[in-house]
A and B are shown apart, each in its own frame.
Chain A
Amino acid sequence: MNKDKIFKLAKGFRGRAKDCIRIARERVEKALQYSYRDRRTKKRDMRSLWIERINAGTRLQGVNYGNFMHGLMKENIQLNRKVLSELSMHESYSFKALVDVSRNAFPGNKKVALPPKKEGVSIVV
């Protein structure tokens, strides 16, 4: 039954959109459109999430994301960002080995090992 299928897909919707067929039909169609669109945007979002995580992991070692990836490309290491983000979270020693390899291949960040200094604050180095 078409109505039953619509109500099944409309579970958890707000207000009358889960109870009344005229409103539910519209909302379900919209939900399916969004899911079609978001299956494509999910790939983009995940990639930016991985890049954020890799950035955080490498900055702990004193290298930023751009120089890290440049060093990996130079060394012809073909690990993708998904795996690199997983390694940076769970396998810290392996990730550190990767960061060292990248640093040797492209030493772009040798000077910047500390976070930027703020003015007016005395820092004991």
Chain B
Amino acid sequence: MASTATAISVSATSSPFKLSLSHFPKKNYNSSFLSLSKPSISHSLSSRKSIFTQNLSSKPSFSLIPKFSESEAPVIEPEAAPDPESTEIETGVEVETALTQIVEVEKEVPKREEIFAVVMIGSRQYIVFPGRFIYIQRLKGANVNDKIILNKVLLVGTKNSTYIGKPVVTNAAVHAVVEEQGLNPKVIVFKYKKKKNYRRKIGHRQPNTRIRITSITGYQDYPATTLET
């Protein structure tokens, strides 16, 4: 198909992905939905279906091949809105130029900023990435869908520079949303003393909170160690 041929030429320089119809843009391409929604015409339901079959994982490994986490689904929904206006342009699908197809393809994939932070919550440190969730100790006053700002940011790393906090990166903030207040899996606490007829069995579920990281801000003015490449 013409679309895959042109799309593959775009993604030739980017790293390979697991999807069959994978045409992801280059990492440093700053694509925002507002700027690209006007010229782009969502003609292909097939290429949108391919994104739903992604392998979703929340393992925090920040390799050059980024793994996309669950926030794909909510991001795709607003793109269903321009559908009514695309029906009349359906006939022009085959006549579309390669340029509009490439532009539309890059719009479908949300931009993932390559950044991570080390944040301290509940006296434990976590490496966080935007778009992924983590389980932390239960926050007493938080309800579901609360916005949270985490201030104790110990290290921020971007593609070319690292901001090492001593101990904290000043004015850096990690924004997160509370997703769920649940319980850890049950742990059986079994106490036993031999020959003394003493056995106690207790089940325990530690409360936890799941938060999803939305963005990392405020680190730009801090002195950074930059990679010269």
Contact = CB atoms under 8 A, between A and B. Distances in A.
Interface of A: 29, 32-33, 35-36, 39, 75-80, 82-83, 86-87, 90-91, 93-94, 97-98, 100-101
Interface string B153-170: 011010000101111000
A78 B116 contact: no
Contact of A93 (B60, B126, B162, B167): B162
B227 interface: yes
Interface string B115-151: 0101010000111000000000000000000000000
B118 A76 contact: no
A75 B192 contact: no
B162 A36 contact: no
A79 B155 CA distance: 8
B190 A94 contact: no
A78 B118 CA distance: 11
Q: Dominant SS at the A interface?
A: helix
Q: Dominant SS at the B interface?
A: strand
A26 to B, nearest CB: 11
B61 interface: yes
A83 B191 contact: no
Contacts of A98: 162, 164
Contacts of B62: 90-91
B167 A76 contact: yes
A94 B157 contact: yes
B66 to A, nearest CB: 12
Contacts, number: 62
Interface string B174-218: 000000000000011111100000010100000000000000000
Contact of B162 (A32, A90, A94): A94
A29 B190 CA distance: 8
A91 B62 CA distance: 7
A97 B224 CA distance: 10
A83 B118 contact: yes
A79 B125 contact: yes
A81 to B, nearest CB: 10
Contacts of B162: 93-94, 97-98
Contacts of B127: 83, 86-87
A36 B125 contact: no
B63 interface: yes
B30 interface: no
B15 interface: no
A36 B189 contact: yes
30 contacts: A29-B190, A29-B192, A32-B188, A35-B188, A36-B190, A36-B191, A39-B187, A77-B154, A77-B166, A79-B125, A79-B155, A82-B125, A83-B118, A83-B125, A83-B154, A83-B155, A86-B60, A86-B127, A87-B155, A90-B61, A90-B62, A93-B157, A93-B227, A94-B155, A94-B162, A97-B162, A97-B164, A98-B164, A100-B225, A101-B225
